[in-house]
Amino acid sequence: MMQLLGECSFCKDSSNNKHTRINYLNRNICTECYKHEKKDIFDYQSKIPPLYPQIDQIYESIYIGNLDGAKLKENLKEVNITHLLNCSKHLVCLFPNNFVYLELDIDDKKNDENITKFFETSFRFIKNANVTLIHCLDGNNVSASILIAFIMWSNKKTFDEAFKIVFEKRPSICLSESYIKQIKDYNYNDLII
């Protein structure tokens, strides 16, 4: 999150020495209001019942899914998921006392974010986890992009080979052109984990 100066969009405080300002959902917001906003989002997201939960097993220890799939704690435990890779800064980690989370600061409502800066951290997290669920809101773009890049790196696959592995288990994936280009252009040989 980028640090900003100026008036907070929520409390209208403009004394820059009171709290650091951040850009949250394209709004200038102080850290105190951000804490309250995240709590409100958590309360809201945790109360919405899952309508269309999806998690698909790609490998023995890797699943991909959507937010609704990540909301069903008992289902996650049933398939022995221990770690959740949350690929959206708009989604909260609902069960921090039950699972290990890595939350990526990616705006999954945009399709042109630089996702490569999250590869090293994400790959290390997946590699060191027992069983991981990688998810974003729909489980079709950002999380699929991170997963395909991980498969390319860990299994030395081409983009087409990695895409096919994921697509066969989760045919709903739909990567943005920007993410496809980033994944294909990335130099995986420089990555040491």
Indicate if 167 and 130 belong to the same structural domain: yes
Q: What is the CATH number of the domain that holds 136?
A: 3.90.190.10
Indicate if 30 and 68 belong to the same structural domain: no
- Region 61-89: what's the mean pLDDT? 95
Domain count for the chain? 2
Residue 16 structural domain: 3-47
The per-residue pLDDT for 21 is: 45
The per-residue pLDDT for 160 is: 97
Lowest average pLDDT, out of 28-32, 64-68, 87-91, goes to 28-32
pLDDT band of 81, cuts 50, 70, 90:
very high
- Region 165-185: what's the mean pLDDT? 96
Is it the case that residue 2 has pLDDT exceeding 50? no
Angstrom CA distances, 192 to 20, 65, 76, 147, 157, stand at 34, 27, 30, 17, 17
Lowest average pLDDT, out of 17-31, 105-119, 122-136, goes to 17-31
Indicate if 105 and 39 belong to the same structural domain: no
Most confident of 27-31, 35-39, 162-166: 162-166
Indicate if 87 and 129 belong to the same structural domain: yes
Indicate if 168 and 78 belong to the same structural domain: yes
Model confidence pTM above 0.75: yes
Indicate if 135 and 151 belong to the same structural domain: yes
Angstrom CA distances, 53 to 31, 56, 85, 125, stand at 32, 10, 16, 23
Indicate if 128 and 183 belong to the same structural domain: yes
